[in-house]
């Protein structure tokens, strides 16, 4: 296997990457949307936005593969970043001497086709790549290659627009790599219980200071035990990941979501007035149940129940009573027939 060379400007490139504060952070809908569109548009099995760190490639967004990172020495994208080319296309990696014995070719995910375009930071450094991958060898047309370049430009536009704002962005900027990882749910790659709790404290403090209302939403998957009992835990894990992605896609950029239990999620909605809370949560629920979830066991219809409240916090640190009220409303939604929203008084 031919290992990728190191770019001459590696130190500057890594400095630019680290300044973006994207490594080891939760998935974001702005990038998830682009990789979803790329996967559908090119009809490939995998589409990803890769950040090339010193010794690994970190998947800031990936569709079609449940992975967070792989070694840099095995990375196709690392070959692209080290060159001056505006794209890299490999029609059949199994026949390409650079990649034929690459572990990502000989083992999972079994790459045959690869096409990638570099992604540049706002200061012009090649900090990563947008790539399309398939297990079958294939050609790429000029139109498809241009489409890939256009999607890469969309990623670069997002990098110039800091849309993970306020409490989330401040929290990320304050943490080192180890502490970031400790606040992210490894299965869904959204915030875990500790992460969303910290964010809720910050949003609660801000809402108390500004005297503005914030929404707190507890939700969980209906009849989830039946999914695990019938189809097994790997399928249940697929359902949880897809539900997390759908919930994320239904939220605003300033909203935050975390997985707080097996199939239970907590959502924080800054600046959400009581009069708009029900409609907001119902919109989220409707998006979630619009289509069945595709799994290894086939398509499974999924519904969720929601409990919510909107409140102007009196004291910044008292978040447990708010979560308890939202959880009580969720309990009412469950006992009221499920697949519905209950708003706490």
| Paired strand residues for 304 | 221
User: Within a 13 Å sphere around the CA of 180, how many CA atoms are in the beta-carbon half?
Assistant: 18
- Tokens encoding 177: 């790599």
* List of E strands, the chain: 46-52, 56-63, 69-71, 88-90, 113-120, 126-134, 214-221, 256-259, 264-270, 293-295, 298-300, 304-311, 341-343
Name which of 330, 315, 299 is nearest 227 in CA terms: 299
What is the 8-class DSSP label of residue 3?
A: P
The Cα–Cα gap between 247 and 260 comes to 14
- Tokens encoding 104: 């990502």
Name which of 44, 42, 32 is nearest 145 in CA terms: 42
Could you give the residue numbers annotated as active site?
263
The Cα–Cα gap between 302 and 213 comes to 31
The Cα–Cα gap between 75 and 114 comes to 11
């Amino acid at each position: 296997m031919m290992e990728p060379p190191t770019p001459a400007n590696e130190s500057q490139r890594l400095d630019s990457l680290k300044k973006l504060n994207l490594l080891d952070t939760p998935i974001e809908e702005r990038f998830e949307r682009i990789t979803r569109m790329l996967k559908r548009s090119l009809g490939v099995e995998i589409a990803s936005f890769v950040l090339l760190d010193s010794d690994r490639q970190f998947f800031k967004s990936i569709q079609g593969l449940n992975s967070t990172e792989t070694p840099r020495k095995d990375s196709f994208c690392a070959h692209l970043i080290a060159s001056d080319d505006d794209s890299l296309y490999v029609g059949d990696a199994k026949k390409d001497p650079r990649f034929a014995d690459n572990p990502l070719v000989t083992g999972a995910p079994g790459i045959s086709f690869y096409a990638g375009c570099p992604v540049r930071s706002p200061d012009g450094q090649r900090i990563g790549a947008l790539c399309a991958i398939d297990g079958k060898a294939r050609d790429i047309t000029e139109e498809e290659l241009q489409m890939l370049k256009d999607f890469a430009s969309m990623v670069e536009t997002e990098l110039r627009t800091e849309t993970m704002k306020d409490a989330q962005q401040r929290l990320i900027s304050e943490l080192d790599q180890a502490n970031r990882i400790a606040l992210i749910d490894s299965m869904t790659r959204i915030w875990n219980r500790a992460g969303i709790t910290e964010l809720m404290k910050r949003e609660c403090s801000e809402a108390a200071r500004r005297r503005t209302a914030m929404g707190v939403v507890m939700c969980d998957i209906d009849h989830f035990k039946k999914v695990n009992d019938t189809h097994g835990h790997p399928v249940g894990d697929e359902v949880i990941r897809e539900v997390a992605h759908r919930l994320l896609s239904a939220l605003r950029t300033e909203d935050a979501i975390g997985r707080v239990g097996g199939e239970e999620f907590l959502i924080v909605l800054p600046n959400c007035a009581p009069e708009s809370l029900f409609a907001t949560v119902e919109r989220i629920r409707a998006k979630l149940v619009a289509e069945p979830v595709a799994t290894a066991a086939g398509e499974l219809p999924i519904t969720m129940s929601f409990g919510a409240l909107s409140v102007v916090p009196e004291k910044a640190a008292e978040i447990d009573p708010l979560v308890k009220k939202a959880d009580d409303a969720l309990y009412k939604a469950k006992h009221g027939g499920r697949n519905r929203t209950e708003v706490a008084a």
